[in-house]
Amino acid sequence: MKNLAIALPLSLLLILPSCTNRDVPKAVDCATTDLVLVASTATAPTGCSSTDGLLIVTATGGKQPYTYSLNGAAFQAANSFNGLGSGDYTIAVKDANLCERTLSVKLPAINSTLNGSATTVSNSGCTTPNGSVVITASAGFSPYQYQLNTGGFVSTSTFTGLAAGTYNLAIKDSKGCVKTLSATVVTAPTTISYANEIATILTTRCNLAACHAAGSPRGDWTTYDNVKAKSTSIRTRTASKSMPPSGSTALTQAQIDLIGCWVTGGAPNN
């Protein structure tokens, strides 16, 4: 029997899949990457009010190329940061796998003894934040001025009306020396009751036969565990007023705020 050779058109050969084995890239676990960031140069400014400090960092491991960020600013290719005053700095490196590592570096104020601390009051408000930060300055040269985040320096050391979160603070003395620090305002435990307030709203507005009654395929919200599991979605939908659905009795803004505050406070079974 003769071997029959079948000639395929060139156009068909070009579209046939290759039989070459190719490795499928594996996802990188950034928790175990060997990416490391160190400060190779940390030059303090020459005076309290000077801005001639310099930071140079070196990254190793991970996958190049690297990019770098100072204090949360946009990432850049350069690994050096100049024009710096005294204070605390956080530098981040990001590699080609999008893994990140951070490094904290302090540039001291030359010949300055300025120091300080901060105390906070928890935010128990929700729609109207009421947390606060009090800064206490010590040493250095009085009188002092105080700064919250990127605001200007002011003579008052107390900042009120704060939501939960971390705030950057600074103290400046009469010689122009600056001491930076941070403080975190936490959320106070909510006093809004699930049993007496949230459950009542759900029972009268949501847990109806056509919506979220017991055994409903749309979700049973008659038990705390079910409501807790869906609490974030409930907050989002009530805030957007997409729930209760059109045609049902709408929630008042006070009820919407109450649900939002309860969920933000951890949605406790209280």
Tokens of 252: 């008042």
Question: Which pLDDT band, with edges at 50, 70 and 90, does 16 fall under?
Answer: very low
Architecture of domain 115-185: Sandwich (2.60)
What is the structure's pLDDT at 25? Answer: 62
Determine contact, residues 116/80, Cβ cutoff 8 Å: no
Spatial neighbors of 162 by CB under 8 A, at least 6 apart, are 123, 129, 130, 131, 132, 133, 185
Average pLDDT of the chain is 87
Q: Is the pLDDT of residue 14 over 70?
A: no
Residue 51: pLDDT above 70? Answer: yes
This model's pTM is above 0.75:
no
Output the CA–CA distances (angstroms, integers) from residue 14 to 8, 21, 103, 169, in the order listed: 10, 18, 52, 65
pLDDT digits 0-9 by tens, 126-165: 888 999 999 999 998 899 999 999 999 999 999 999 999 9
Q: For residue 251, is pLDDT > 70? A: yes
d(CA 152, CA 136): 17
Task: Supply the pLDDT for residue 1.
Answer: 46
Provide the residue ranges of all domains of the chain, joining segments of one domain with +.
Answer: 36-107, 115-185, 194-264
DSSP H helices in 157-216: 199-205
Which range has the top average pLDDT, 1-5, 134-138, 139-143, 187-191?
134-138
Q: How far is CA 216 from CA 35, 169, 201, 208, 210, in A?
A: 50, 51, 18, 9, 8
Intrachain domains 36-107 and 115-185 with the same fold: yes
Residue 70's pLDDT is: 96
Burial of residue 254 (CB within 10 Å: 0-12, 13-18, 19+) is exposed
**In this predicted structure, what is the pLDDT of residue 33?**
93
Share of the chain above pLDDT 90, in %: 53
Cα angle 138, 142, 145; round to 5? 85
pLDDT score for 210 = 75
CATH classification (class only), 36-107: mainly beta
pLDDT value at residue 19: 46
